[in-house]
Amino acid sequence: MINRRNRPAQEVNAGSMADIAFLLLIFFLVTTQIATNKGITMVLPPKLDVIDNVPLNERNVLKIQVNSEDKLLVEGEPLGDINEISEIVYDFVLNFGQPDSKKKGKAKISDQELFATLPTEMKNYIQRDLSLSTSSDGPSEAVVSLKTDRGSGYDIYIKVMDEISAAYYKIYGQRVGLTAEEYRKLNRNDPRQKLLYDKGKLGIGKAISLAEPTSNGG
Arithmetic mean of pLDDT, 158-171: 96
User: In total, how many domains does the chain have?
Assistant: 1
Residue 23 lies in a domain: no
Contact (Cβ atoms closer than 8 angstroms) between residue 62 and residue 92: yes
Which residues pair with residue 64 across a beta bridge? 74, 146
**215 in a structural domain:** no
Q: d(Cα 89, Cα 147) in Å, to the nearest integer?
A: 15
- What is residue 53's predicted lDDT score, i.e. its pLDDT? 54
Q: Is the dihedral of CA 126, 170, 39, 207 positive or negative?
A: negative
Q: Would you say residue 198 lies in a domain? A: yes
- Which strand (E) or helix (H) includes residue 64? strand 61-66
**Rounded mean pLDDT, 144-166:** 92
Other C-beta atoms within 10 Å of 138: how many? 24
Strand duo 208-210 + 72-74: pairing: unpaired
Does residue 192 form part of some domain? yes
Beta bridge partners of 210: 146
Amino acid found at 201: K
Beta-strand pair 61-66/77-79: unpaired
Tell me what the pLDDT averaged over the chain comes to.
Answer: 85
Q: Quick one: pLDDT at residue 150?
A: 85
pLDDT of residue 57: 87
Task: Indicate the burial class of 92 (C-beta count within 10 angstroms; 0-12, 13-18, 19 or more).
Answer: buried
pTM beyond 0.85, yes or no: no
Q: For the segment 36-45, what is each residue's pLDDT rounded down to a tens digit?
A: 544 455 544 4
Q: What does the DSSP assignment read for 145-174?
A: EEEEBTT--HHHHHHHHHHHHHHHHHHHHH
136 in a domain, yes or no?
yes
What is the Cα 82 distance to its own chain's centre?
14
- Residue 171 has a pLDDT of 97
Residues 101, 103: Cα–Cα separation, whole Å: 6
Query: In which domain, by residue range, is 192 found?
Result: 58-210
Residue 117 confidence (pLDDT) above 60? yes
Residue 110 near residue 101, CB atoms below 8 Å: yes
Within a domain: 151: yes
Q: CA 166 to CA 174: how far, in whole Å?
A: 12
